Structure 1
């Protein structure tokens, strides 16, 4: 697959039993296990690679997400695909002893890394850990004040199902924030980003994590993810209102927001 390929994402609700895994077409029933293999492979080096891949800028993206979350003392927060717990750590301090944070991830390896990291920070009392599929969250209706999902939605097989599931578990008045790679706003930036993604990133993965293929998948999965306006429409289809997004770093990343009323 060359750097100049401009494969377009298939419509999220297209019929059939095939979906994309990076640029490959696979059976929908296989995708979750294929994604799990990727994150089993990268879990131990996930934080190191995040810092290297983004030159530390992912911390600023996450800080902006936290600043936009409206989380306060006493809130119940769900951090889906929370991985190694960067958002959960901040939210744990913000909600305090009267609130709670649930770190959920479909991948057990990532969940274990996150749990160990947060416990090493002394964050224990108000954090729960749940292995969960975003498409069918195992929580009652109207449970959480805020739901966040950082760099996880693009790996979900049926993204609309995940948004529907999140809407169900949010309380009326609650908000969803999805931080995800998106479509660069300028053609020049897009070309530079392609060079970085398909030439530099996989080699970095090979050197640091001894895993070129997983990081090639991550680059491909970003290209197959819905663009900003498409994802905004999917929020609205799930029932969210006042939906908007903010482009970060020229649209390489976007923060999407929606409210349940």
Structure 2
């Protein structure tokens, strides 16, 4: 297929933006608008909406990664830099951490935050699309994507792109909202997501719609087993996942053979 045909197909293809059906080109624009809107208050909202739990989920991700001094780490959808900051301290001056985000507003907030904390010597900031990562083959020891995969239009393409940039033996970690394992807990979580989340969004960021989209995007994301299967289909081995907080969040891990 030539580029002209591919572009034509993209214009005609549809995907989901939360519960709405939109063109694939329109989704990228709408997701960008969401994160432009919430970037400046993103950290505060994370603390309020997760009761601070997101810090524990991220800490577990760091511990599971097996990162060590001298490693090269790619933090996709790195946003405001929580994981990048921790990885930077672990890999040291001999290592490298790349904070990548498709959204310019989030990247600027992350860069400013890390510079304020003195985290700059071994960190690069790159605006990048997870589906078409602008890095060499077999470059990184670890790739992470934290609460970002559900916003990607072609998740399978993104997972293949992550596989490509990993070294053989390198590890991918996907931290993402998932499906609660208990039906009662699931109903409570639904009520919380669709009632409290947009209200909190309006009060803290003056933007209820963006947080309604985030709630819907969680429901549209593949469940634990489906995502594990997608990783295996892309070529990852030793794939497994760990449910946290009753399956509200899951950490998937895979190794490049």
- TM-score interval for Structure 1 and Structure 2 normalised by the shorter chain: over 0.9
Alignment partner, residue 146 of structure 2: 150
Q: In the aligned structure 2, how far is the partner of 1:208 from the partner of 1:125?
A: 33
Unmatched runs of 5 consecutive residues or more in structure 2: 1-11
Alignment partner, residue 211 of structure 2: 215
Residue 101 of structure 1: how far off its partner (Å): 0.1
Q: In the aligned structure 1, how far is the partner of 2:233 from the partner of 2:98?
A: 26
Q: In the aligned structure 2, how far is the partner of 1:30 from the partner of 1:201?
A: 24
1:113-146, Cα deviation, whole Å (9 max, x unpaired): 0000000000111000000000000001000000
Aligned residues: CA RMSD = 0.6
Query: Which secondary structure does the structure 1 equivalent of 2:80 belong to?
Result: coil
Alignment partner, residue 10 of structure 1: none
Q: In the aligned structure 1, how far is the partner of 2:25 from the partner of 2:195?
A: 30
Q: Which consecutive aligned stretches of 4+ in structure 1 deviate over 2 angstroms post-superposition?
A: none
1:83-110, Cα deviation, whole Å (9 max, x unpaired): 0000000000000000000000000000
Alignment partner, residue 165 of structure 1: 161
Q: In the aligned structure 2, how far is the partner of 1:79 from the partner of 1:176?
A: 10
Q: In the aligned structure 1, how far is the partner of 2:164 from the partner of 2:27?
A: 24
Q: In the aligned structure 2, how far is the partner of 1:228 from the partner of 1:194?
A: 18
Q: In the aligned structure 2, how far is the partner of 1:29 from the partner of 1:214?
A: 18
* TM-score, length-scaled by structure 1: 0.94
Unmatched runs of 5 consecutive residues or more in structure 1: 1-15
The structure with more helix, counted as a fraction of residues: 2
| Of 126, 130, 147, the match for 1:134 | 130
